[in-house]
Amino acid sequence: MPRAATNVYHFMPRFMPRCFFGLKLYPMAQIGFGKLAMLESQLRMNPDFLVVGAGVAGLRAAIELAEAGEVLVVAKDTLHESSSEYAQGGIAVALSDDDEVELHEQDTIAAGDGLCDRQAVHALVEQGPVAIQQLIEWGAAFDREGSRLAFTREGAHSRSRVLHAHGDSTGREIALTLYRKASSLPNVRFQSYAATTDLLMSQGSVCGAIVYDEATHECVPIYARAVLLATGSLGRIYLETTNPDIATGDGVAMAWRAGAEISDIEFVQFHPTALHIKGAPRFLLSEALRGEGAHLINSLGERFMGGYHPMGELAPRDVVSRAIVSELRATNAPHVFLDLTHRGCEFIRARFPRIYETCLRYGLDLGKEPAPVHPAAHYAMGGVHTDLEGHTSIHGLYAAGEVACTGVHGANRLASNSLLEGVVFGARAGAAMRESAALNASRKCVDAAEAVFPCTTEERVRRLAWDDCGIIRTGEQLESACKQLQSDRMTPYSSAGLSDYCLRNMHTIALLIARCAFARRESRGAHFRTDFPEKKQEFEKHSVVVKDHEVQFR
């Protein structure tokens, strides 16, 4: 399960100042009980804006909000543990001499397989160049060739338009840049908690959230004029995932319990090339490796992607993932191989330092031998339904980044558009919250409903999701998953802990994916059903599901 912050006073991210809310943090032994109580009272402040999540989208929104009032950014675990940190491949933007915004737009729409919201895509690619220039002004050090930005190509891109930082640490560089900028603003504060558990409601509007502090075993209410969900991914519901342990779908699950619309949640992208070594984590081997010429070969030593798609190894991710699964079934092998040995150790070490060193720790030298790889859950195209400004279907609640569904990715995300989405739509959501702040002055909240938890295990939920809601699906499997998850008994716990809250969210997400995938009787993008293997025009619509209602398409 996710590692939890042991104590809010002494568990600090490596680059977080030892100060919260303008208060110096002292060792516990130096604080008397009266002073401790005062500090506790001040820590439970009520900000104007609450940002749940400290990845790229949350940090960018916080920067946008800082001029309008006090901003509290709540991180799960630590500030440096987010999906943004794990984004190796880069950030796509039409800035090179041979590229155009219109080409980036076309590639994004093509990858989305008929479900992209064209307005959302246009906003993403048009505002991308300005967003990148802003990051550079704030100190982001993207890789260069001499004085010029260095661009590479990745799957389904028609141009080399992907920027990297330190070879394969792009997400980390952008997150650190945004953190430094946000932390320099006097109105932005940070806090680490074990989890955010529920949204607080008042007359149908969101007015805050409840956070769980594992150190004290307390649930703490935080009230705000507006709340932004920027909680990232849900990949941990699958047995095989490239996501960090904290990616338990918290934002989507909380929003669904509050009555928000959830859209396109059946579209889960499986990255084709996760490291597949016994005892090693499912470390992502970036698509940029294939962009630099890496070949996929099966257990017989044969290249196979040419038989599945004219773009070969650079085909869209859903195509490559299904091709690998087909090869595994045909050869009865546990994995295929990603081979970049022809580029040599020196090139790989310089271009992909983080990947190279990580593989070395598990006894694999990418310059001398191919890497065993297997698809793993990587990215959620669906999530909390929003408009282009981050508004959800509930007043006072906003969402941005991977937790949100603007329709920008459609049925299948184009490689390296995720970091760009976080930056662009994080800023847009922050601006919308800032502009509407005066309308949300009331903080009269009601208590959240009593929490109930599924009587099951994390292993069972993850196995169900992987076996029945994975890369290749059938109606029979999806229906079975729905029935099994719906039949689980739900009960309140008098002393729920972090693992209980995470399991509750994972159970909710698995059921939502199963329900929406069962309702979508076609194959499109990352959603593939063997009983309905073709696209259908009547399903060229977005799925929408709301608590206590059936799945709809619109």
Tokens of 243: 């996501």
CA distance 132 to 129: 5
User: Could you tell me the two tokens for 147?
Assistant: 């004085």
Pairing of strands 490-491, 543-545: unpaired
Phi then psi dihedrals of residue 34, to 5 deg: -65, -45
Kindly tell me the number of DSSP H helices and DSSP E strands found in the chain.
14, 26
Residues 409 and 424: their CA atoms lie apart, in Å, by 14
Dihedral sign for Cα atoms in the order 155, 158, 159, 163: negative
If one counts every other C-beta atom within 10 angstroms of the C-beta of residue 386, the result is 28
Task: Please pick, among 236, 317, 504, 520, the residue that the annotation labels catalytic.
Answer: 317
Q: How would you classify the pairing of strands 226-229 and 397-399?
A: parallel
C-alpha torsion angle, residues 181, 182, 183, 185 (rounded to 10): 90
Active site residue 317: yes
* Number of Cβ within a 10 Å radius of residue 102: 12
Q: For residues 503 and 458, is the Cβ–Cβ distance under 8 A?
A: yes
In the beta sheet, which residues pair with residue 242? none
Task: Give how far Cα 334 sits from Cα of 92, 276, 337, Å.
Answer: 32, 9, 10
Q: Which residues contact 406 (CB under 8 A, 6 or more apart)?
A: 117, 120, 386, 387, 388, 421, 425
Dist. CA 409–CA 114, nearest whole Å? 10
Report the residue count for the chain: 554
Q: What is the CA radius of gyration of the chain?
A: 23
Instruction: Name the β-bridge partners of 394.
Output: none
Angle formed by the axes of helices 344-351 and 353-361, nearest 10°: 110
Give CA–CA dist 156/533, Å, rounded. Answer: 22
Query: Cα-flanking dihedrals φ and ψ of residue 510, to 5°?
Result: -60, -40
Strands in 336-339's sheet, in edge-to-edge order, are: 268-275, 371-380, 336-339, 295-297
Q: What positions carry a catalytic annotation?
A: 317
